Each structure stands twice: as C-alpha cells, then as structure tokens.
Amino acid sequence: MNNSMTMNGGHSPGEVHSVRGYIFVFIALLAGTILTVWASFIQFGSREINIAVALVIASVKAFLVVAYFMHLISERKMIYLVLGFTAIFFAGLMGLTIWSLSPNSLIHIQNVP
Amino acid sequence: MDFPYIVEPRRDTGLYNAKLGIWLFLASEVMLFGALFSAYVLLRVGADPGMWPHGWLNVYIGTANTIVLITSSITTVMAWVSCKQRQFGRFKFFHALTILLAMTFVCIKSYEYHDKFTHYEITLASGKFADGHLVEKSKDFDLAKKTGRVTIHGYEVEHEVELMDMQRPEARNIHREEITIPATDIKKMERYGPWHHTYLAIYFTLTGLHAFHVICGALVIGFLWGPGSRMWKTDPERFTNRIEVSGLFWHFVDLVWIFLFPVLYLL
C-alpha cells in the first residue's frame, strides 16, 4: 500500500499526508482514552485536580482530531478566520458562565434588607 | 445553470463551496454544544453539597463506546484517503466499517438508556431509600391504590445522599440483592429518567443530541456509501469532496464525545 498521498482540491498542491501518521494519531487517541480512565481512578488530592487532568487529556485528544483528522493544521486562512470568531464567542460564553458563578456577579439576586 | 466552485476551489479563499459551508456549520455546532456545556457547569456548581452524582454511569461501557467512535474516525479518514488514491473498493470497505461502528455506538447508547429507564429510586414510608433495577412488578401493582408489590435488584440506604457518590470505596462494596417491596411501604418511586435529577437531565440532553448527530452522520455516510456513490463514475473529484465534508462532520461528532465522556462518566 502506498503510505503517502498527494492532496489536491481544497488543499495545497504537493501537500502530503501520511497514512502512517493517521494510524499514529489513532493509537495516540486510544492511549489517551485509556489514560483518561486510569487517571480518573487516581485521587490527586482534590476533585478539581482530577477535573483539570481529565480536561487536559481531552484537549490533547481534541487537538489531534482537529489538527490531523480534520486537517486543520494545513487549512486555508478563511477557515482559520471562521474558527477564530468561533473561539472568541465560545470563550465569551464560557467566560460569562464562570463570571456568573461569582457571588458578586450582577445576575445573582441580591437579598433585600 | 452551473454553480461555480463546486469542485474547484475559489482562487481567493482556496476553498470549494461545501468546505466553507461545513466549517461554518461546525462553528454553529460548537456554540450549540458550548451552550449545553455551559448549562452543565451551572447545574453542577449550583447543586447542593454532596448532591451531584458520581459513578452513576458504567465507565467500561463508556470507554468501549469511546473506542468505537475513535475507530470510526480512522475508518472515515481511510475512506477519504482511498478516494484520493482512486481506490473505490477500499473506500467502500472503510465506509462500511464506519457505518457498522456508528450502529454499534447507537446500540451501546440504547443499552445504557434502557439501563437508566429500568433503574428506580424508591422512597420508602420508613424514610429509607431503596435503589436498584426493576426485576418485576406484580400484576396488581398500583402505587396510587397501594396494591401489589415490586421487586428490584439493589440495596437500601438510610439517606438519599448515600446514593449520590457511587465512586466512594464503600459504595463499590455494596451488596446487591433482590428486594421485594409492597406498594403500601412505598412513598415515591421514580425511574432514573431526565426528570429524576438535573445530572440526568443534562446527561440525556447532551448524549441525546450527540446520538442524534451520530444517527444523522451515519445516514449521510450511508447515502454516500450506497446510492450516492454513483457519482464516483461521473465526477470522482466532486464525490471525494463530499466524502471529505461528511468526514469533517463525523470527526466533529467524535470531538464532542471526547469531552462528553470524561465530563459525564468520570468526573
């Protein structure tokens, strides 16, 4: 089997993606899944640390999928622009969520004396 | 009328129409799931101390489903690679695997849903709580009329809070047995449906929406594998673009699950 292929169409001419590379990413994703489960059974001292560890592993797995399976690592500027706006709005959404958890945030109902 | 840039990329953006379209769609999907993740955070942080469940889902089944979905991602990539290499037979093989894996995922998810809908929390008249899976209800069982009895495979606890953290060491050693409870001893009986707890509400919402995406993606891939593959003979480049676009959607579905699995099953 040919282990490399030349892309055309929506990708740069001459750009090469390796089938071996996809298989490596697949194995890394499987390993990441097992690592996530294993880490969840370890008590790191607080549940917050466990949550952080799980989310870091999930983020690495997500990066592998987006960068290599979805070819974002070699994508066009227009796609980066679309995703840049998405990232800003997503960060805003999560920022508002975290801000709303603060007892001093304006959305909390204040006790009337 | 011929539409431009269906196959060849636009010179300024370097993209064909469907490619830009799917990324715009995926951007909207990020915000859709982002809103639900935000709801999850608010529900979790807003829960009373000790009343957010842990270990209510089977980690091994969730892990198996994660592996199924990751495997379907590589078969999707390989199907696209096969098209690029002009190997139609290999494309058919890999996408048949993708469809089978998608069906496996949905079957496992259905089993998990069934498990939840046959799981009951029973508030007893004594103030204790019984929890377990339904074994049988007597024919005359009627909670309103207080007739008959119900049998579950589970255990009893003194306080409801003891049902929340099933990851704690004592919970793992709980002895489960068949318990028969007369309707007269039951104050309240509730399945582990979305109405039972805010955790289950967000669990069913998130996984239900995700499963809907899996089913829709599988239908599109199934169409491209079956009747839609006729385009290969007339316009292989355009067909390959379709495989790429459907693949991008499928990888997004995988991406969402990568976050759903730890958030709902492990944390």
**Band (A100; pLDDT cuts 50, 70, 90):** confident
H-helix or E-strand spanning residue B152: strand B149-157
Which of A86, A88, A108 should one mutate to test binding to chain B, selecting the residue with the greatest count of B CBs within 10 A?
A86
> What per-residue confidence (pLDDT) applies to A12?
42
Q: String of b and e for B155-171 (b: at least 16 CB within 10 Å)?
A: bbbeeeebbbbbbeeeb
Residue B200 has pLDDT above 90, yes or no: yes
Average pLDDT estimate for B26-39: 96
Average pLDDT of chain B, as a whole number: 93
Residues of B in Cβ contact (< 8 Å) with A61: 258
Rounded to 5 degrees, φ, ψ at B110 are -60, -40
Q: Is the pLDDT of residue A13 over 50?
A: no
Considering only CB atoms, A9 lies closest to which of B9, B70, B267, namely B9
Q: What is the pLDDT of residues A42-52, one digit of tens each?
A: 888 888 898 99
Residues B115-127: tens digit of each pLDDT: 999 999 999 999 9
> Is A17 exposed, middle or buried, given 0-12, 13-18 or 19+ CB atoms closer than 10 A?
buried
Assign residue B219 a region (left: φ > 0; alpha: ψ between -120 and 50; beta: otherwise). Answer: alpha
Helices and strands per DSSP (H, E), number in chain A: 3, 2
pTM (2 decimals)?
Answer: 0.90
Q: Which has more pLDDT, A58 or B5?
A: A58
Longest dimension (CA), chain B: 76
By C-alpha distance, the chain B residue nearest A25 is B74
Query: Which residues fall within 8 angstroms of residue B223, CB to CB, at 6 or more apart?
Result: none
Q: Are B248 and B24 in contact (CB under 8 A)?
A: no
Q: What is the pLDDT of residues A68-91, one digit of tens each?
A: 999 999 888 999 999 999 999 999
Helices (H), B85-197: 88-117, 169-172
pLDDT at A29: 96
Give percent of chain A above pLDDT 70. Answer: 76
Residue A17's pLDDT band (boundaries 50, 70, 90)? low
Q: What confidence score (pLDDT) does residue B146 get?
A: 92
Q: Which of A6, A36, A93 sits opposite B266 (nearest CB)?
A: A36
Say what the alpha-carbon torsion angle B68, B74, B80, B82 is, to the nearest 10 degrees. Answer: -110
| d(C-alpha B61, C-alpha B112), whole Å | 8
Let me know: does A58 contact B259? Beta carbons within 8 Å.
yes
Distance, CA of B143 to CA of B197 (rounded, Å)? 21
pLDDT 10s digits, B173-184: 888 999 999 999
How close is the nearest chain B Cα to the Cα of A79, in Å?
Answer: 7
3-state secondary structure of A94: helix
pLDDT score, position A33:
95
The answer for residues whose C-beta is within 8 angstroms of residue B93's C-beta and 6 or more apart is B82
Q: Which residue of B has its CA nearest to A31?
A: B67
**Does A76 sit within 8 Å of B30, measured CB to CB?**
no
**Interface membership of B19 toward A (CB under 8 Å):** yes
Give me the amino acid identity at B48.
Answer: D
Q: Which domains does chain B have, with CATH numbers?
A: 58-116+196-266 (1.20.120.80), 122-191 (no CATH)
Percent pLDDT > 90 in chain B is 84
Query: CB of B47 within 8 Å of any CB in chain A?
Result: no
Do residue A26 and residue B45 have CB atoms under 8 angstroms apart? no
